[in-house]
Amino acid sequence: MPRKQLIDKVLILFTAGHETSANALSFTLLLLAKHTHIQEKLFKEVDSIDFDNNDHISQLGKLRYAKQCIEESMRLFPPAYFFDRASLGNDTLNGYAYKKNTVWLMNIYELHRHPDYWEDANKFMPERFDPANKKDFSDYYFPFGAGPRMCIGNNFAMFEMIFTVALIIKKYRIQTEAEQVEINPLITLKPKEVLLKFRDRYEIS
């Protein structure tokens, strides 16, 4: 592999893989801080898991609610909140003509909150991703994109985020005074000025 290609690949792995996961984790922790009953339900799940052994796959299988919390957080606040495509040739859609090289932006943020698809669309409800509810969101839930360019790091990202959230919640109770979750939509979607307090669950006061 030529040196330039190698550097480009390392750079894309850092930019695509680092900020997106960091933003998703920030939003998730903020949402858990604002919804203490959900945080305590998650604590019950993680408290029953022994993280001291190296059997990460079996631990992962037990962290079902942690996964749902992250999925729901990325529904409300998808770090990749839009993605773009350029048309390869002239085309028409809904009676409008589009020239070759037209750039299309897919608005994932709006799709993830569309009231036609989501009940109580703006509410943080991790249970909606519980497989027991047998809902298929595959036509309108795209935190990692879709098709041939879908995120190549999606499984790694979920694995990393589930463990990070679980280990934090196991040790800390998270609090915030933020009334609203404010967004900062740049290349990725970030939360604005998040201040969280982490209190050791086992501290003796």
Residues that bind ligand HEM (CB under 6 A): 12-13, 16-17, 20-21, 24, 79-80, 83, 143-145, 149, 151-153, 156-157
- Tell me the closest approach of the beta carbon of residue 61 to ligand HEM, in angstroms: 20
- Tell me the closest approach of the beta carbon of residue 16 to ligand HEM, in angstroms: 4
Q: Which helix (H) or strand (E) holds 74?
A: helix 64-76
* Distance of alpha carbon 76 from alpha carbon 20, whole angstroms: 14
CB-count exposure of residue 59 (10 Å: 0-12, 13-18, 19+):
middle
- CA 155, distance to chain mean position in Å, is 12
Q: Which is nearer to ligand HEM, 15 or 36 (CB)?
A: 15
- Tell me the closest approach of the beta carbon of residue 83 to ligand HEM, in angstroms: 4
Hey, what long-range contacts does 133-142 have (CB within 8 A, 24 or more apart)? Answer: 140/111, 140/112, 140/114, 141/75, 141/112, 142/78, 142/106, 142/108, 142/111, 142/112
Q: Which is nearer to ligand HEM, 12 or 195 (CB)?
A: 12
Q: Which is nearer to ligand HEM, 83 or 173 (CB)?
A: 83
Q: Which is nearer to ligand HEM, 141 or 144 (CB)?
A: 144
- Tell me the closest approach of the beta carbon of residue 124 to ligand HEM, in angstroms: 17
- Tell me the closest approach of the beta carbon of residue 201 to ligand HEM, in angstroms: 26
> Are 45 and 61 spatial neighbours (Cβ–Cβ below 8 Å)?
no
- Tell me the closest approach of the beta carbon of residue 137 to ligand HEM, in angstroms: 15
Q: Which is nearer to ligand HEM, 37 or 149 (CB)?
A: 149
β-strands 172-175, 103-107 pairing: unpaired
Give the bridge partners for 197, in sequence order: 175
Q: Which is nearer to ligand HEM, 43 or 142 (CB)?
A: 142
